[in-house]
Amino acid sequence: MNFDSCKKLKLKFSTLALLLLIFQSNIVSAQDEITIDDYNNAVGFMYENYNNKKAFNLKITPNWFPDSTGVWFINHSLDNKKYLKITFPNQVQSDLFDHQKLSKLLSDSSGVDVKANDLPISKITYKNAKEFVITVKNKTYILNIDEYTLSTPKEDLKTNEGEKPSPDNKWIAYTKDYNLYIKSTESKEIKQLSTKGVKGYEYASWYGWGDIIEGENGVRPDRFGVEWSENSEWISANICDMRSAQKMYLLDHSVDTLYRARLLSYYRGSPGDTTMVYLEPVFFNAGSGKEIKVGLPKSTHINSINVTWSKTPGKVFLYRMSRGFQNIYIYSFDLNTESLDTLYSETSETNIDNFDYKFAEKSNLMFFLSEKSGWRQLYSLDLKTKKEKSITNGAFYINSIERIDEEAQKIFFKASGKEEGRNPYYQHLYSVSFNGKNLKLLTPENLSHDISFAPNGDYFIDNYSTVNIPTTTVLRKTTTGEILMKLGHADISLLNGWSPPEIFTAIARDQKTTIYGAIWKPANFDSSKRYPVIEMSYTGPHTQVFPTDFSRAFGLQSYAELGFVVVVVDGLGSSGRSKEFHNYSYKNLGGGLEDHVIAIKQLGEKYSWIDTGRVGIFGHSAGGYDAGRAVLAYPDFYKVAVASAANHDHRMEKAWWPEMYMGWPVDSAYHLQSNITMAGNLKGKLLLVHGGIDENVNPSATYKLAEALIKADKQFDMLILPGQRHGFTGQHNKYFTKLRWNYFVKHLRGVEPIWDFKWE
């Protein structure tokens, strides 16, 4: 080949390479372009814009008549909101009331045209078969459905919030100068029951997480609380002891009329603190005035003693957790003899996170749920002999005791993971006899079941679905689970082009455990493109994020509409599986993220349209800790994070959460699990967000992480919402949502975001 030929061939290759480069550039530009339509689509999947506007009956809420003669519910469609009822025992469905007549009544009474297909009722309370109490535009009426009249209800005699009448209405309990008194409703006689109460050591009081005090010497909100025994003989109360409790502080800059910040404070103990609020149970005999204390170890407000009145007069049951949540005790206490008897105790090397119990005293039994076998199972305890019996056994998880029927000697409970080959998070309803026999599955459909029982237990309403199978709502017979009638079905016909999220599985870091997650894709998904990934995280560990029902199919679609695939996954350490699975997070709250990284990488290997080189993450509260942890512990994998209202260092959190999951007393694990100690690892983009007056997760840890990032010379972004608490609301929440969307659009998708768009 001569020189000219080589020159011509080289020119052809150069031209071809240039054309290919231009072609590829056009593909990238087209793929990375974002439009106002993308934002409009995202806004369309905000809850207020799709629920009962584009999607209907995602979950039908039953409202049982208190006398169990029927149930009412609302059936939604595009142009109609229908109030319906089912009456028993013949299961007859009809309108709850005449919609046309009621619309006329409301129109006449308000002078405003009220549509029969969109009645503006915000609340309905069943009074009797002929009358309902309804609330319409903040006005309350009694609706008589025989005569179709509206009347104004008589004002009930208002009970002072600082008073509690006895069941026989002969005495009223109240406090004065931090002591407990009772006064006779007949003779007006007053008895002072306690005498040692002073400010900071207060009888018949309680402590609330949000007891905000204004100013350095401000007053804590009034907190009054007593419980009478059923026979009106005894009073149960707590002594609230704040004498050694320390405060945390907030500055509120959000009051428009103030030009100095308001100083807010509240009592809050951190892990390991002894300077906390303490609660001590105390009892009084209304007749003699005698004060009785139990004599158990002093308890902080995070592990206070729970009191349950027995059906036997003069007797109570007490539930106590040790500090660190590794021991629980259940006692019976005889108020007449002041004798304390231990009925049951349990110990764990890690923690006891979700112990639950219910009494069936007619049968002399207590039923409880415990993980001591390695799985959360159902047990009974004979209250007389203290003999324990295992009611269920197996490698599955019992979620809740739904109902105890002492007449039929049956327990109804919800469990997940029992049916072979099914998703371990789908909940089903079962019944079992008190003796552990006759275990029966009452909801056989291979979906997750949301249950609501009639007050008398004869029927239950079942909303069953998965995240990608629309909800069906049915009425079932309790004894058999037989479907008696259908109430409704989710309608998504207006969501043209939308596909529900896909369920996926992955193998955890132990290389044997199957973990579960879900993926949301854009409505205009194109498998030939590569999409960046956003993960929403909340590792719990008291809960899980896997979406089990159809009402949760839309919550993350907004992010997908902006050009991402969105992922949630539950790794080792979250709840709802075995105790071993759950224990992985103990003293290791940040460790579960490793499974998230593994799962996303496995998805990237499976799907060419997932770009694991561009992964972002966001979360709120404990999820905010996850998001911050992700970009610090895995800086080469997670490139962008938005961490809101996060507890970045568990030593600065309220004592309950860390002591349950990080252990007590405080040890080196707290240091190792702190995001603040890892600030120097940051490589990607991080947005820290916090409410300025968040008393749940104090913003101090976010400030401390910011300080650590500055000292490490790391670039980051920060937003403080001055007047917001732990949950952002109103315009502030919209502003934050917009900022979070655009943070990912700019830094993960790599395109210039749009700020001005409408929320409707």
692-748 residue pLDDT tens: 999 999 999 999 999 999 999 999 999 999 999 999 999 999 999 999 999 999 999
Predicted local confidence at residue 3, as pLDDT: 44
Predicted local confidence at residue 496, as pLDDT: 85
Query: Would the pLDDT of 659 be above 70?
Result: yes
Query: Which of 95, 126, 151 finishes a domain?
Result: 151
Q: Are residues 237 and 303 in the same domain?
A: yes
The mean-pLDDT minimum among 8-17, 38-47, 262-271, 331-340 falls in 8-17
Residue 696 lies in a domain: yes
Q: Which of 506, 519, 578, 516 is nearest to 546 (CA)?
A: 516
Mean pLDDT, the chain, as a whole number? 94
Q: Are residues 233 and 93 in the same domain?
A: no
Amino acid at 405: D
CB 203 within 8 Å of CB 239: yes
Q: Give whole-number Cα distances, 661 to 589, 618, 692, 734, in Å.
A: 7, 22, 26, 33
pLDDT, tens digit (0-9, with 9 covering 90-100), for 448-500: 999 999 999 999 999 999 999 999 999 999 999 999 999 999 999 999 889 99
Residue 302 lies in a domain: yes
d(CA 378, CA 361): 17
Predicted local confidence at residue 138, as pLDDT: 87
Q: Which of 113, 115, 117, 133 is nearest to 72 (CA)?
A: 133
Residue 438 lies in a domain: no
d(CA 241, CA 243): 6
Q: Give whole-number Cα distances, 272 to 268, 276, 695, in Å.
A: 12, 10, 19
∠ CA(691), CA(693), CA(695), 5° rounding? 105
Residue 308 lies in a domain: yes
Going by pLDDT thresholds of 50, 70 and 90, the confidence category of residue 9 is very low
**40 φ/ψ angles, rounded to the nearest 5 degrees:** -60, -40
Question: Which domain range does residue 94 map to?
Answer: 63-151
Q: Are residues 663 and 561 in the same domain?
A: yes
d(CA 195, CA 561): 65
pLDDT, tens digit (0-9, with 9 covering 90-100), for 345-387: 999 999 999 899 999 999 999 999 999 999 999 999 999 999 9
Q: Are residues 580 and 692 in the same domain?
A: yes
Name the residue with higher pLDDT: 258 or 4: 258
CB 216 within 8 Å of CB 207: no
Predicted local confidence at residue 21, as pLDDT: 42
Query: Which of 151, 185, 208 finishes a domain?
Result: 151
Q: What is the CATH number of the domain that holds 550?
A: 3.40.50.1820
Name the residue with higher pLDDT: 32 or 626: 626
Q: Give whole-number Cα distances, 456 to 402, 441, 453, 460, 717, in Å.
A: 13, 20, 8, 10, 56
Tokens standing for residue 542: 């008291």
DSSP letter at 698 equals: -
Predicted local confidence at residue 24, as pLDDT: 43
d(CA 508, CA 124): 48
Q: What is the CATH number of the domain that holds 306?
A: 2.140.10.30
Q: Are residues 131 and 217 in the same domain?
A: no
Phi-psi region of 87 (alpha: psi -120 to 50; beta: other; left: phi over 0): beta
Mean pLDDT of 601-620: 98
Mean pLDDT of 271-277: 96
Residue 229 lies in a domain: yes
Residue 108 lies in a domain: yes
Going by pLDDT thresholds of 50, 70 and 90, the confidence category of residue 2 is low
Query: Residue for token digits 């997650």?
Result: 517
Predicted local confidence at residue 99, as pLDDT: 96
Predicted local confidence at residue 16, as pLDDT: 42
Query: Would the pLDDT of 554 be above 70?
Result: yes
Query: Which of 126, 151, 176 finishes a domain?
Result: 151
Sheet with 427-433, side-by-side order of all strands: 397-405, 410-416, 427-433, 440-441
Between the two ends of the chain, the Cα-to-Cα distance in Å is: 68
d(CA 41, CA 220): 46
Q: Are residues 555 and 690 in the same domain?
A: yes
Q: What percentage of the chain carries pLDDT values higher than 90? A: 90
Q: How many separate domains does the chain show?
A: 3
Mean pLDDT of 412-422: 97
Predicted local confidence at residue 158, as pLDDT: 58
Predicted local confidence at residue 135, as pLDDT: 93
Strands 717-721 and 685-691: parallel
Going by pLDDT thresholds of 50, 70 and 90, the confidence category of residue 284 is very high
Mean pLDDT of 213-229: 94
Q: Are residues 224 and 174 in the same domain?
A: yes
Mean pLDDT of 525-547: 96
Residue 358 lies in a domain: no
Q: What percentage of the chain carries pLDDT values higher than 70? A: 95
Mean pLDDT of 38-62: 94
Q: Are residues 138 and 221 in the same domain?
A: no
Q: Are residues 145 and 207 in the same domain?
A: no
Q: Are residues 204 and 304 in the same domain?
A: yes
Residue 386 lies in a domain: no
The mean-pLDDT minimum among 114-118, 158-162, 245-249, 305-309 falls in 158-162
Residues whose CB is less than 8 angstroms from the CB of residue 7 and which lie 6 or more positions away in sequence, other chains included = none
Query: Would the pLDDT of 510 be above 50?
Result: yes
**651 φ/ψ angles, rounded to the nearest 5 degrees:** -70, -15
How many residues make up the chain in this entry? Answer: 760
Name the residue with higher pLDDT: 110 or 134: 134
Q: Are residues 120 and 169 in the same domain?
A: no
Going by pLDDT thresholds of 50, 70 and 90, the confidence category of residue 25 is very low
Q: Are residues 168 and 135 in the same domain?
A: no
